[in-house]
Structure 1
Amino acid sequence: MSEVTTKNTEVEPAPRQNTLIRDILAGGAVRAFLAIVLAMLIGGLLIATTSPSVQSALGYFFQRPADTFSAIWEAISGAYAALFRGAIYNYNAPNFLRAIKPITDTLNFATPLIAAGLGVALAFRVGLFNIGGRGQMLMGVAAGATVAFTVQAPIFIHLPLTIIAGLIGGMVWGGLVGFLKAKTGAHEVIMTIMLNFIAYYFISWLLATPGLLQRPGGSQPISAPTPETARFPLLFTAPLSVNAGFLVSLLAVLFVWWLIERSSLGFRMRAVGENPHAARAAGVNVGRTIVYAMGIAGALAGLAGINQMSGTITSGFENGIDAGIGFDAITVALLGRSRAFGVLWAGLLFGALKAGSFTMQTSQDIPVDIVLVVQALIVLFIAAPPLIRAIFFLPKEGSKTRTPRVKNAKKEVAA
């Protein structure tokens, strides 16, 4: 008998704290946060390059380079400080109410974005690309305005009827897409684009026709002011601007969360979104599920339209009352990763960007388009996780951390 000594390399798992850190870094929340940070950094570079003071300092950079860096810092810090003052807290305000008014403006801008974003996110979870938020909003406004201008009742009756009418208007417009897709296989992107145009020209006709939605005694395509009993009441006294529509949007967030994560219908929706063929084989009625999903998504977009008519634009609306929210909702849904509470935070972020952009423009003379560029960059980075991982050296999602450790093993081999 002879003894042969060999080395056997074994790999043991890394300590638990290392695995936890790796899981956090590989998560979607960290990628979303880093995408926002990177977009803000690039936005800061754009602000600096377009600043007249920076351009002037660059003319004598080699004589006094410190002036250039100082101008860059002042331009970027001044812009984002103005964004903060316009979106969160105005520390230059003369009193407390004026100081906290920006946060209420943010909530006001975020309210329709959250509702419409939920509609897009819900469709995403079912594997559908709903870019018909604009048309669904406009049809919700058309239905809600019909009830608002024809019904006379106390606010506790009139306002709920207006909301329900808006939900039904959006539901019919979204459900039509789901029905056609389920029955004919038509692509939802093409249908929603076409229905957006139909809804736009339909509400334009309503606003231009006397006796329908056109303001009585006028000739312009604009509606009468929303009746007081069909408006969302303010949650606080002036100058704070947030209204009860924000609370309705929060209820919509809870409803979508329960629907997708806790209900049997939500389970079927997620199954269809993951694999419609497997869901059909498991006994799920795929066509009916698609109709339900698009109908509910349309209702949520209709709620966003009612938020505009009864909360934001109460002095009379035109055919552009959607204000691009239907398309911004796609961005919100992407940033929120199609999760109800993710959409809530994404809507608040974009509401803050919109509210703060006006202060940036007035106090720092920075174009509002800079904020739009930042929003577009956020979408770009969110939609490209490998790019974020490459820039910040993040681990891949689902990868495991292991630390190689070498152990010596002895084996006896018969000669």
Structure 2
Amino acid sequence: MRVIVGTDIASIPIAIIIALVIGGVLIALSGVNPFEAYGALLQGAFGTPQHLADTLIEATPLALIGVGIALCFRAGVFNVGAEGQFLLGGMAAAITGNLLSTAPAIATLLAMAIAAVLAGAAWAAIAALLKVYLGASETLTTIMLTYVATYLVSYLLNGPARDPATPIAQTQPLTTSGLLPGLWPGTTLHVGIVIALIVAVAAHYFLRRRVGGFQIVATGLNPVAARSAGLPVRRILISVFLTSGALAGLAGFIQVSGVQGKMIVNLSPGYGYTAIVVALLGRSTPLGAFLAALFFGALSAGGASMETSVGVPASVVTIVQYLTVLLVIAYTAARTLRRPSRVADEEE
């Protein structure tokens, strides 16, 4: 599966501008000045240190999950189950944090991260094994596993893992040792964004500079040829699935430890699904996914401010997000369709 790989970079800002113009038309039809609305959006995303922190906090899980999904795209597989892997990672992190509530912070956080990574990877491994050994569609299995994960987390939060001190479906609040340290004094920004950046840079380096990265790309381009060349295609596919699940689980840990301070039912507003769009807009590259996550984070943080300030529904932001990706895909498809005609013209 080659998804917006190698797209002309200039097409992305053009797509963003067109999507914003269309969004502006929708805003105008609602009786609000588009410039005023977008001004409120920018203010909500970057206007104060806390607003900028909100943007980066929103971008963090999208970046981590998006990098994992981008790696899957490069290998020719589609992980639609990151939402479930994210939730299970958060659940595992919260349980571990509560069990180690009296341990030193470094030990607690490390154990929470490991538990989250293992939970996400293990859940992704189910779909990976079904894919490579039974030929099951990973799109179907991952989305079905997401439903199972969602209800499993709900069961745990309403039963064995629920805080006995409250009727609300949530775990006990984490102690200080289970909370990620802050990154920007005076704001709620935590070190999660640094972790996401490190992951994106490391994944970029791996794909570009390491043999394993070349094998992933080769498998995605043509798995039959890769297998004929002696590449361990099954192992490669399982590895990218495990990596994608691990990063989704890590994002769950960061959301629990850095934002909520406990595991809750609504930990995710749909990060696992939005991250698919982030990976697409990022041209299926790790650094591209990170930048796309920042863009989506700004729209998400600013959209809430736009709604409260000028009364424009935040759904307009969602329209802009998805229109941007659709326009990039349309550009790529149009460019691909033009190629055969150019070749024919040259032959004539």
Distance 2:166 2:190 in 1: 29
Per the alignment, residue 146 of structure 2 pairs with 196
> 358-367 or 149-158: which moved more?
149-158
CA contact 1:109–1:354 (8 Å) conserved in 2: yes
Per the alignment, residue 38 of structure 2 pairs with 80
Which of 180, 205, 223 aligns to 2:171? It is 223
- How far 1:283 moved relative to its partner? 0.4
- SS of corresponding position for 2:9: helix
Distance 2:27 2:89 in 1: 38
Give the TM-score taking structure 1 as reference length.
0.77
- How far 1:259 moved relative to its partner? 2.4
Per the alignment, residue 413 of structure 1 pairs with none
Matched, 1:287 2:234: yes
Which of 115, 119, 123 aligns to 1:169? It is 119
CA contact 1:35–1:388 (8 Å) conserved in 2: no
Per the alignment, residue 182 of structure 1 pairs with 132
Distance 2:212 2:265 in 1: 35
- How far 1:174 moved relative to its partner? 1.1
Per the alignment, residue 156 of structure 1 pairs with 106
Distance 1:132 1:345 in 2: 22
Which of 196, 210, 214 aligns to 1:267? It is 214
Per the alignment, residue 26 of structure 2 pairs with 46
Structure 1 residues 171 and 386: alpha-carbon distance in aligned structure 2, compared to 1, 3 A threshold? closer
Per the alignment, residue 245 of structure 1 pairs with 192
Per the alignment, residue 65 of structure 1 pairs with none
Larger radius of gyration: 1
Structure 1 or 2: larger strand share? Answer: 1
CA contact 2:7–2:332 (8 Å) conserved in 1: no
Which of 1, 14, 17 aligns to 1:37? It is 17
Distance 1:278 1:307 in 2: 39
Please list the CA deviations of residues 48-73 of structure 1 after superposition, one character each: whole Å capped at 9, or x if unmatched: 0011x6xxxxxxxxxxxxxxxxxxxx
1:237-386 aligned at under 5 Å gives the runs 237-238=185-186, 240-314=187-261, 316-385=262-331
- How far 1:255 moved relative to its partner? 2.1
Q: CA RMSD in A?
A: 2.0
Structure 1 or 2: larger helix share? Answer: 2
Segments of 5+ residues of structure 1 without an aligned counterpart are 1-25, 54-74, 91-98, 401-415
Which of 125, 142, 146 aligns to 2:74? It is 125
Moved over 6 A (4+): 387-390
Segments of 5+ residues of structure 2 without an aligned counterpart are 1-5, 344-348
CA contact 1:145–1:213 (8 Å) conserved in 2: no
Please list the CA deviations of residues 310-350 of structure 1 after superposition, one character each: whole Å capped at 9, or x if unmatched: 11222x33222122000000010000001111011100000
Matched, 1:137 2:86: yes
Per the alignment, residue 93 of structure 1 pairs with none
Please list the CA deviations of residues 17-36 of structure 1 after superposition, one character each: whole Å capped at 9, or x if unmatched: xxxxxxxxx96210111111
- SS of corresponding position for 1:383: helix
Give the TM-score taking structure 2 as reference length.
0.92
